[in-house]
Structure 1
Amino acid sequence: MSELVTGEAVALELRPARLPSRALAVLLDLIVAIAAYTGVSVALMFATASLDVAAQIAVSIAAFVLVLVGGPIAVETLSHGRSLGKLAFGLRVVRDDGGPIRFRHALVRGAIGVIEILTTFGVVACIASLVSARGRRLGDVFAGTLVVRERVSAGPTAFVPPPPPWLTGRFAELDLSAVPDGLWLAIRQYLTRMQQLDPQVGWAMAQRLAADLVARTGAPAPQGVPPAAYLAAVVQERQARDVRRAFGNGGVGGVPAGGFGPGAGVPGAFGNSAFQPSSAPQQPYGSVPAPAPVSWPATAAPPVPAAGGTGADPVVPSAQPPAPAEPRPSTGFAPPA
């Protein structure tokens, strides 16, 4: 199976698209774009017949830029990386960490694509894709994107554990704009493999990743919160923002827009399967799978301020189940046999 391997020597559960499928998708997009450009040019030819030659040339150049350059950029931005050709062949453009692309990614890909695809008839793009280990053309390299296959057979996927319930929604105001994609990928790979690491090695790795994340966000981590739980809570907040940005504030699949509860299946960068255990079957889109229990590495339970107190005396949440309710007094009525 073809997988992406990052600089941290971890595998990303995405399959890069091969050159033939990408070429066919680009060819279909070009056919649609050229047909649209031809129709617009014919309409403008009749509309600008009364203008001079210089004005007609200016209008033709504007139509070329808007239809053949601006059109693909707008389509990839609005569809989150799925043009008509990519939709037909089951492809999608994603960021290096697997998240949805934004306008700046589509702009860089479209601008460089004019040189790679239009002016050189795709020769430069084909050579760059053949040379690249992940099949990326120059536009993908400069934009930090990758074309992956979506129509793959369902298989076991890595389970990203949800954060503890008392951390859900705690980082809603955190500024995550300065965190690079490589750090997000390293954090996610640690969370999926932290149960397999040596406790001391995992603790040191979590502390290092948490320190890097704190340095990027500019906000200190809460006192008493284990580094691994802090990383999981921030990753969940980031994925929740990606979902709200992609599908609007109304939520998707029955998940409220105000946040995601612990263990909720967040359809984020890697789809719902990223929040499912590897032994669980593939769930329908928007479903909420039941995650496996996670043992967070911690030296002490995180402090929770008591209601109405000063916060000096921490209250440790009790893990014991509530006491059973007292039985109701008998009324003396016996049901008929």
Structure 2
Amino acid sequence: MLDTTYNVETPEGIDLRAQAAGPVPRVLAYAVDVFYRTLILAALGIALAFADRAGMGIWLLCSFLLEWFYPVFFEVMRGGQTPGKKAFGLMVVNDNLTPVSWGASLLRNLLRFADFLPFAYATGVISMTLSRHFQRLGDFAAGTMVVYRQAEKTATSLPEIAPLAPPRGLQLQDQQALISLAERHEALSEARQRELANLLEPITGKKDGAALDYLRSVGNWLLGK
């Protein structure tokens, strides 16, 4: 089955997830950006009509800057979103899901000429369609991708496991550690959580999944679930 989920695990064991954006919303977002750029150039053309050749030179310079640096400015300075991408809830990120940098954004946009070949961005659309995470040639070269911007979570969900009272004499710092583990269960990878749980095997007498379930139960109890 088609799965657009993109996963990255950080060195700290935190799972980062995003949904890769396919060709259709990206083409629509690009069309919106072209519309905005056309409006800007039309307004400039009217404003510079009186300047004759000098006005034409300024208009051509602005046209060049808009074509190549309009997306770079918005992707870096506006959270990876041009106005078109923002309209469709998309954003450009590095392939490790960190914010896109100036160099990466500049490279992916300068290589649009290759994606344009032979006409109408045919190569870019074919590349997006055939690649696992809908990356065009510019994305492959720059190490970037386009994903859906996720809404920020307003509440932290707790593990779905019955609460269990902790053993007597549990120190405050130990309680804080268990609470942190329960609250971050969706952010930390399962392997990392089991690794942390195994460190307490001398105390809990449990290992792997059993140890993790026990610590989650105590964490839920401490949080009043």
Q: TM-score range by the shorter chain?
A: 0.5 to 0.7
Query: Quick one: which amino acid aligns to residue 80 of structure 1?
Result: G
In structure 1, C-alpha distance between the alignment counterparts of 2:99 and 2:152, rounded to whole Å: 21
Which aligned segments of 4 or more residues in structure 1 are displaced greater than 6 angstroms?
152-157
Using the TM superposition, give the Cα deviation of residue 113 of structure 1 relative to its aligned residue in structure 2, in angstroms.
2.2
Query: Quick one: which amino acid aligns to residue 102 of structure 1?
Result: S
Provide the TM-score with structure 2 as the length reference: 0.60
In structure 2, C-alpha distance between the alignment counterparts of 1:156 and 1:125, rounded to whole Å: 39
- Which of the residues 19, 31, 34 maps onto 1:30? 34
Indicate if the aligned counterparts of 2:104 and 2:143 stay in contact, CA closer than 8 A.
Answer: yes
In structure 1, the residue matched to 2:64 is 65
CA RMSD of superposed structures (Å): 4.0
In structure 2, the residue matched to 1:39 is 43
Matches within 5 A, 1:142-161: 142-151=141-150
Secondary structure, counterpart of 2:68 in structure 1:
helix
Using the TM superposition, give the Cα deviation of residue 153 of structure 1 relative to its aligned residue in structure 2, in angstroms.
10
Q: Are residues 1:92 and 2:91 paired?
A: yes
Secondary structure, counterpart of 1:13 in structure 2:
strand
In structure 2, C-alpha distance between the alignment counterparts of 1:156 and 1:61, rounded to whole Å: 52
Indicate if the aligned counterparts of 2:100 and 2:144 stay in contact, CA closer than 8 A.
Answer: yes
In structure 2, C-alpha distance between the alignment counterparts of 1:105 and 1:37, rounded to whole Å: 26
In structure 2, the residue matched to 1:107 is 106
Q: How many percent identity over aligned positions?
A: 25
Provide the TM-score with structure 1 as the length reference: 0.42
Identify if the C-alpha distance between structure 1 residues 28 and 133 changes in structure 2 by more than 3 Å, giving closer, same or farther.
same
Task: Compare the two structures and name the one with the higher helix fraction.
Answer: 2
Gaps of 5+ in 2: 160-172, 174-187, 200-215, 221-225
Could you report, residue by residue, the CA deviation over 1:97-141 in whole angstroms, capped at 9, with x for unpaired residues?
A: 111112112211221124434983222221110121100111211
In structure 2, the residue matched to 1:141 is 140
In structure 2, the residue matched to 1:306 is none
In structure 1, C-alpha distance between the alignment counterparts of 2:69 and 2:118, rounded to whole Å: 16
In structure 1, the residue matched to 2:6 is 4
Using the TM superposition, give the Cα deviation of residue 198 of structure 1 relative to its aligned residue in structure 2, in angstroms.
9.6
Gaps of 5+ in 1: 160-164, 166-190, 203-278, 280-291, 294-337
Indicate if the aligned counterparts of 2:127 and 2:136 stay in contact, CA closer than 8 A.
Answer: yes
Query: How many equivalent residue pairs?
Result: 170
Using the TM superposition, give the Cα deviation of residue 58 of structure 1 relative to its aligned residue in structure 2, in angstroms.
4.5
Query: Quick one: which amino acid aligns to residue 195 of structure 1?
Result: Q
In structure 2, C-alpha distance between the alignment counterparts of 1:133 and 1:85, rounded to whole Å: 23
Matches within 5 A, 1:1-337: 1-4=3-6, 12-47=16-51, 49=52, 51=53, 58-117=57-116, 120-151=119-150, 192=189, 193-197=191-195
Secondary structure, counterpart of 1:17 in structure 2:
coil
Could you report, residue by residue, the CA deviation over 1:8-38 in whole angstroms, capped at 9, with x for unpaired residues?
A: 9x97511101211111111111111122122
In structure 2, C-alpha distance between the alignment counterparts of 1:118 and 1:37, rounded to whole Å: 24
Indicate if the aligned counterparts of 2:92 and 2:144 stay in contact, CA closer than 8 A.
Answer: yes
